[in-house]
Structure formats: C-alpha cells, structure tokens
Amino acid sequence: MRRPAILSLLAAAATTALALAFAMPSRAAEEAVVIPAPAMDAAPAAGLQTAVIAGGCFWGVQGVFQHTAGVVNAVSGYAGGTKATADYQTVSSGRTGHAEAVEIKYDPKKISYGKILQIYFSVAHDPTQLNRQGPDSGPQYRSAIFTTSDEQKKVAEAYIAQLNAAKVYGKPIVTKIGALEAFYPAEAYHQDYLTLHPNQPYIAYNDIPKVENLKKLFADNYIEKPTLVSASKATN
C-alpha cells in the first residue's frame, strides 16, 4: 500500500542527488593544461582567416572561441562528411564521417593561427581522448583539425610534435589532421548555446569551466562579452 509513496520519495531523492552532482565543482570537465606556445606559427596575412577544429561537443568549443579576442565569428557545425548527412540527428549516429566542429573566422592582426591552436589544446578540449570527449563518445566527438592550407597543416603537425616531445600530457595526442573539404553550419538551436543556456547542467558542468580556464590561462586573449553568431547575422 505504501509502495507508491516510497517510490515517490526515492525519485525525489534521486533528483536531488543529480542536482547536487551538477552543482558540485566541475571535476568531470576536461582539465586545462598549461602548454608552451607553438614554436612555428603561420605568417601574418591580410584579411580574415579561417580555422576549423573539432574537440567534442561543439557547444563548449564554440563558447571558448566566442570569448577569444580577435575571433570575428565562431560557428558550430559539421566537417568530415557530406552535405547530405550534415544534420544533428544523422551525425549523432557516428556513421557519417562528420565531426562536430567549429569554424572560426579570425583577424590575424589580433590573434594568430598558432595561438588558436594553443587555446584549443590547452582549454577547449583534451586531445588525448580517442573518439570521445568527457561524457560524449563516438567518432563525431573526435579531436581533429581541418586545415585550409598547406601552411596550417605544417603548423598543426609541428605543434603536435612539439607538445608530444615536451610530454605535457600524460598520454599521446590523438588529434587527426586533414584538409578541410567543406564545413556545414549546424542547426540554429545549436548556435550560441553556451551563452543562451549557461545554467543547463551539461553546459554548467562541462563547458563553463573551459571559459573560466580561458580567462585564467589566457587573460590577454580573453574577452568578457562573447562574439555571438546571432549578433553577426544581425549586422550583415
């Protein structure tokens, strides 16, 4: 007779425990790692440049670079597969070749390609996790750099070799480097997700700490007000 009441109490207790877990310090988020700047960097260039990187759920990666000075726009999307499969539901199957990626448009007078990679490897994700990142698993969450030029390829390869030689991580870097064939923006509801939903448990637990680490480790490159996709569209 009392089973329904007991079950209700247990459910309430489980909900409370889950809420407390998400309220705890973000020990489950990828730890930031202090790493040296790249010894090789891209040469200064005129006009806006593009970098495309992948490192787990694109919400957090986008959020980090939206708080990075010199970044004009950071868009969540898909890279590595075809246009026909570039939608969230299909990509989530892990069978499309796509990775959840972020396209970064940046001003090379304010930030270099090498600095973007340093932030990417240091605070945006853990490059030693193979086909996963934190709570997310599957090839769509892989660590990958999609290069747009031979120079970017050389800089990325040299930097990974430099970091592995310096043994700044406890395990080898598994980041894949490949030429960008195409980038497909993700659905509108994925854009600016960290800014729009800072209290969502996943964001608060896994991604807000990344932005906090950016502010702490890269103070000279941090901006308080994020550069949002929605704002970029409004000004175009």
Beta bridge mates, 147: 179
| Cα–Cα distance measured from residue 12 to residue 22, given in angstroms and rounded to the nearest whole number | 16
35, 42, 52, 57: the active-site residue: 57
Please report, for residues 57, 91, 166, 167, the alpha-carbon distance to residue 162 in angstroms, rounded to integers and kept in the order given: 26, 32, 6, 9
**Whether the Cβ atoms of residue 205 and residue 25 lie closer than 8 Å to each other:** no
**Whether the Cβ atoms of residue 124 and residue 212 lie closer than 8 Å to each other:** no
176-189 as b/e, with b when 16 or more CB fall inside 10 Å? eeeebeebbebeee
Amino acid at 90: T
Q: Is 57 in the active site?
A: yes
Active centre residues (catalytic): 57
